[in-house]
Structure 1
Amino acid sequence: MESFRFDPAGNLLDNAPAPDGHQNDSLLGNLLSQYAGRHYRYDSRGNLVEKRVNGSLTRLEWDSHSRLSRLIAPDGQRTDYHYDPLGRRIAKISQGQATLYGWDGDVLAFETRDEEAVHYLFEPDSFVPLAQVHTDAIRGVKVPAWSQHHPYDPDKDPLRQPAPEPEAPKAVYYYHTDHLGTPQALTDEQGLLALEMDYQAWGQAREVIADAAGKAGIRNPFRFQGQYHDDESGLHYNRHRYYDPEIGRFISRDPIGLKGGYNLFAYAPNTIEWVDPFGLTKLRETDPKARSLSNVQTRCWYLREESKIGYQIDCTKPIKQQARQAARLRNEARIRARLLMADREKAIALHQSDPNLTFKELMALKENKKGLTGKDAYQDIVDSASKSRQSVNKALLEGVDCDKVLEGI
């Protein structure tokens, strides 16, 4: 059995007291400096640059967009990472061996190295894997350097030539996942077990590989939704960031800032009902699919989530902690609702015109608009967390039965 301690911001705390006997109950700036014998150091932008374990040092380097560009292992092995203009990782080079990645939107479509490629199939509009298809390695096509002296000729453009007939796959393996889409096993075309996965609470995995599959080099790189495991570091590439399953958090700040939540490094409250496939903001797996709801459906869904806030607040805590919890829950509901909106222009406009407020900003607002401070302001935050603006409800929902609108959602 595993047990964990957290501070009010959701940071994982070390169960063991420090050498001086003091046991920390919060993290300054949400930066984890040590946990379970591991020590961490960050740069001024909040990117992890050093990890020290039992005297062994791992160093990390970042580019100007806060993307991991190089990792130097304790033995000196260097791994370089490369990204496309959309921030998707397209190559990893380690010990002279390159792995190239191809994408279908935000979903990994294939990876190729040496003499083999692996293509990945997913459930529609989802990060839940269905199968991996093994083929010969994907070869690049050389394209001439068209110029004024070497004008473009469509008849000589290799990209316009008929594609060769695809070869039959070498092998196909099928995924079996849990309720969150986390891989639990792979079976071959005969239904025989090729690989089985066992996870700790925050995603550290142990693979049990059948002899035949091991000889064939079968592996499963996927972990929680949207995560790809890197053998050289133990980190999980999570589209926009990297996640460390040893400490259950990201190793750099959230690129969307407070729109992703108060804690810029947090993954999720738990890994039983939450996922974060983009590395930006957590979602309940029971939520509707992203970008699937009309504006009216979104508002009704938000009101339903808002009505639950009062029951989720821990009334045994001091009123200030209750206020912080209420503000966090309301912000999270707003973030999730805007991710569900099919009308992306409207969702973006809402982010810009009505952004989430930090707790400090919320307290200032209570004082400036209502003259409330201290306990009175805390209580008002708790009371108003589940009371949305009636003007918005009237404009969108007049004559609307939200129970009917949300049937099946």
Structure 2
Amino acid sequence: MNRGPATWKYWRNDQGDITEQIDPDGNSTHYSYDRQGRLLEIRHPDGSRHQLGWNNLGQLLEEQLPDGGQRKYRYDALGRQITRQDESGAITQYQWDAANRLAQITLPGGATRAFTYNAYGKVTAERDELGRVTRFEYADNLHLVSRRINPDGSQLRYRYDNSRLLLSEIENERGEHYHLDYYPNGLIQQETGFDGRRTAYEYDLNGQLLKKTEFGDDGSELVTEYQRDTAGRLLVKTLADGEKIHYSYDALGRLVNVDDGHWPLAYEYDLQDRLTTENQGWGTLRYEYDNLGQLSHCRLPDGSKLDYRHQPGGRLSSIDLNGSRLTTHQFNCGREQQRQQGLLLSQYQYDEQGRLQAHTVSQQKRNLFQRRYAYDANGNLAGIDDSRKGNRSYHYDPLDRLINVRGTTPESFAHDPAGNLLGQGDQPTANLANVKGNRLLMQGDRHYDYDAHGNLIRERRGAGQKLVTEYRYDCQHRLIRVSLPGGSIASYQYDAFGRRIAKTVDGQTTEFLWQGERLIAESGDNRYRSYIYEPGSFRPLAMLDGEGPLKATPFYYQLDHLGTPQELTDYSGEIMWSAKYRAYGNLATLDVAEIDNPLRFQGQYFDAETGLHYNRHRYYNPGTGRFLTPDPIKLAGGLNSYQYVPNPTGWVDPLGLSSKLANCPKVKSIDPNEVRFSQTTVSYNKIDNNGNSYNYDDLVSSMRAKGWQGDPIDVVRMPDGQLTSMDNTRVRAAREAGIKVEARERGYNDLVTDSEQQRFAVKGKKPDSWGEAIELRVGKQSPKRFGKETPYGSHEPPKLSGKE
């Protein structure tokens, strides 16, 4: 296969299966199969192997992973999976009823989760690990969830239209309503939020977004328009204030320039379409890759060079900074066991479910400090035993919301039924927050005002509410100016992708550079810093203080179970920064401040001028535990558009868009040829969360250029032991690009969240588990024989629809 000057070569056996692939750099990957066409082995360019063992019924029994780990699977006489053993030896057990329905899951450690069904096989009750029961009711004759009754008695209601059975209304726990209206083809025409905000959409004949209109509650309108070329690629985005953003592509369809008239962005690529140069404003990043397509060298904007080395199988083994060792890493069973940072050695221990259990830091065999973590049966953090900062215990309500912290920094919290944080500390009932449509209106002596689009514009506090902080936004709801009670002014600027590139406080400007979604460097006020992260994550690894290879001095982050910085240490192991936090991210005490550290929860940057945390797409207020503006991705981010996370001791939100469990399944690299598809077709033309248009070829080019970008996909281990994905487009593109996919492996019986239920619903029917989500998706495909012949998905790539 040729693409410009680059050539990918493929060899196939008589069955059409790929047996060898050679990329444009000459790296070869080999595949072998048994007589039934089942994949037996993948031999990667670095010599590592992924081997699979099957029984005569076609069920996967074991895997030998490229990094040496092993997984095992067992089935009963009816072919149902009954045990799964992971790389660490932890076993999950599954029990089934006489109707082949999952009755109980026993997790590593012994905790159980059980399910009850109606005559139609729909879950009517779910008992969690602590014995709490969530109940479900269904609309008559539709088998669609109409009501969810939570363990505390609060309720969610769902209503559907009569013709297409599409979700038309959600009633939240406060009795507020969210409405959805559709075009005849099923695309959303209009949505009205719990707070009354209304947004309308217009599309072309290919289903591509042409116009988005946001209606303010004062009658104002914000209109964003999109202009594309004949391939569906976005050429011009016209904002509501008349500003235009222009996008340019090369002959191969790769994005090469983005110009908003203020901060130009430019990109260059290698033969495999991987990003080699990224120019933004005054800074440039340069990249090189190894034979597995992993980042091997990175030149930072200040000229500093990072070299990444990996073990066979792809695990990180070390990072060098300007020719000297920065860190070394040792992994076992897919988990980091040991890390050397200067003279400090960190050792990590995990429990049966892969959660961090202990972090011990030593210096030349002398223990300096240790943190131990305990969890309750439902997976919530129960306590931290910290040899430096003291002990804390955590307590939760029936919905797993944090209500009490005891120990060195005691706190208490109150919530309303919809998950709004009403009060912190020992506030009397009269001082609890007043909330409407999930907007915080008043809390204690603080009063909050909003603009016509739900953005916080004013906070009034103190005697007579005379202390006033005012916030101003642009037409994309980005914070651009803050006026503080003392007279100080802070202003903020952003690039075409909405990343903050500068802030000015009382005349002093700091500029920021980015590596994808992560802050990579800042410069201002005679200070220059770079930030290094654990690969593929938002967990900071090191801060480089000083500009240039001769001045950049490393300081090392020591993180907690969430990935929040607890200390910064220098090469010798001296603690240079240390803090104690409150549960929602405020600093309780700053113990050591020899240097400054602005990083907080994953993806957050502390602004000292306002006390807010910049969280990529929004600003977070740790004092209220809320965002200042509603979620730009609406229901995709959850039902409460201002909420940070459901529980700050176990969840994070690195992008300010959608929260996720900090201990969610470990992300790993998987060969896309191992993953089956759940669809027969995918759309050639796409729209991202920001309304920007792109197409399938753009995605392939981007993957070749930059490797895997964005969130990992979810792949589901089906009853036959193989993997199937809900994200068909990116798996297909990864195959074509010749890269691995970054994925979280889900069990067939693992439960989906509320927002995932909404995303995966088919004609209003909502799945309860990841396996059911796959089966619903497969079952709705055309032709119908697809679902009958391949009920767990197919290795045959889906066709592209909408490509001219």
For normalisation by structure 1, the TM-score amounts to 0.67
2:569 corresponds, among 183, 187, 190, to: 187
1:249 aligns with 626
- Is the counterpart of residue 37 in structure 1 residue 422 in structure 2? no
Measured after TM superposition, the shift of residue 271 of structure 1 is 1.4
1:277 corresponds, among 654, 659, 669, to: 654
1:97 aligns with 508
Partners of 1:398 and 1:3 in 2: how far apart?
52
Q: Is the partner of 1:181 in helix, strand or coil? A: coil
Measured after TM superposition, the shift of residue 5 of structure 1 is 1.2
Partners of 1:224 and 1:174 in 2: how far apart?
16
Q: In the alignment, residue 284 of structure 1 is paired with which amino acid?
A: L
2:556 aligns with 174
For residues 342-377 of structure 1, give each alpha carbon's deviation from its aligned partner in whole angstroms, at most 9, with x where no partner exists. Answer: xxxxxxxx7xxx69xxxxxx9xx79xxxxxxxxxxx
1:392 aligns with 777
2:754 aligns with 330
Q: In the alignment, residue 629 of structure 2 is paired with which amino acid?
A: S
Measured after TM superposition, the shift of residue 36 of structure 1 is 3.5
- Residue ranges of structure 1 left out of the alignment (5+ in a row): 137-165, 310-328, 336-349, 356-361, 367-380, 402-409
1:4 aligns with 413
For residues 105-140 of structure 1, give each alpha carbon's deviation from its aligned partner in whole angstroms, at most 9, with x where no partner exists. Answer: 00000001122201110000110001111113xxxx
2:578 corresponds, among 196, 216, 224, to: 196
- Higher strand residue share: 2
Moved more, 228-237 or 385-394: 385-394
Q: Is the partner of 2:546 in helix, strand or coil? A: strand
Correspondences of 1:1-400 after superposition (within 5 Å):
1-14=410-423, 15-18=427-430, 27-54=435-462, 55-136=466-547, 166-206=548-588, 208=590, 210=592, 214=594, 218-288=595-665, 289=667, 290-294=711-715, 296-298=723-725, 301=746, 303-306=748-751, 329-332=753-756, 385=768, 388=773, 390-392=775-777, 398=790
Measured after TM superposition, the shift of residue 334 of structure 1 is 5.9
2:211 aligns with none
Measured after TM superposition, the shift of residue 241 of structure 1 is 0.3
**CA 1:286–1:167: 2 relative to 1, 3 Å:** closer
**CA 1:302–1:76: 2 relative to 1, 3 Å:** farther
Q: Is the partner of 1:301 in helix, strand or coil? A: strand
Partners of 1:84 and 1:59 in 2: how far apart?
23
**CA 1:391–1:236: 2 relative to 1, 3 Å:** closer
Query: What is the number of residues matched between the two proteins?
Result: 301
For residues 37-86 of structure 1, give each alpha carbon's deviation from its aligned partner in whole angstroms, at most 9, with x where no partner exists. Answer: 32211111111111122131111001100000000110111010000000
Q: In the alignment, residue 563 of structure 2 is paired with which amino acid?
A: G
Q: Is the partner of 1:258 in helix, strand or coil? A: helix
2:358 aligns with none
Contact kept? 2:775, 2:792, Cα under 8 Å: no
RMSD: 2.8
**CA 1:81–1:332: 2 relative to 1, 3 Å:** same
Q: Is the partner of 1:223 in helix, strand or coil? A: coil
2:365 aligns with none
Partners of 1:110 and 1:390 in 2: how far apart?
45
Contact kept? 2:518, 2:538, Cα under 8 Å: yes
Q: In the alignment, residue 392 of structure 1 is paired with which amino acid?
A: R
**CA 1:388–1:291: 2 relative to 1, 3 Å:** closer
Partners of 2:791 and 2:768 in 1: how far apart?
24
Q: In the alignment, residue 4 of structure 1 is paired with which amino acid?
A: F
**CA 1:176–1:132: 2 relative to 1, 3 Å:** same
**CA 1:27–1:115: 2 relative to 1, 3 Å:** closer
Q: Is the partner of 2:504 in helix, strand or coil? A: strand
Q: In the alignment, residue 454 of structure 2 is paired with which amino acid?
A: G
Contact kept? 2:499, 2:617, Cα under 8 Å: yes
Partners of 1:333 and 1:224 in 2: how far apart?
27
Report the identity percentage.
39
**CA 1:266–1:169: 2 relative to 1, 3 Å:** same
Measured after TM superposition, the shift of residue 3 of structure 1 is 1.3
Measured after TM superposition, the shift of residue 385 of structure 1 is 4.6
Partners of 2:589 and 2:521 in 1: how far apart?
21
Q: In the alignment, residue 196 of structure 1 is paired with which amino acid?
A: S
Partners of 2:613 and 2:469 in 1: how far apart?
16
Contact kept? 2:606, 2:614, Cα under 8 Å: yes
Q: Is the partner of 1:79 in helix, strand or coil? A: strand
Partners of 1:390 and 1:135 in 2: how far apart?
54
Measured after TM superposition, the shift of residue 179 of structure 1 is 1.1
Q: In the alignment, residue 450 of structure 2 is paired with which amino acid?
A: Y
Contact kept? 1:70, 1:79, Cα under 8 Å: yes
Partners of 1:204 and 1:391 in 2: how far apart?
43
Larger Rg: 2
Partners of 1:237 and 1:189 in 2: how far apart?
29
Contact kept? 1:302, 1:334, Cα under 8 Å: no
**CA 1:234–1:333: 2 relative to 1, 3 Å:** farther
Partners of 1:208 and 1:2 in 2: how far apart?
18
Contact kept? 2:724, 2:774, Cα under 8 Å: no
Q: Is the partner of 1:221 in helix, strand or coil? A: coil
**CA 1:333–1:272: 2 relative to 1, 3 Å:** farther
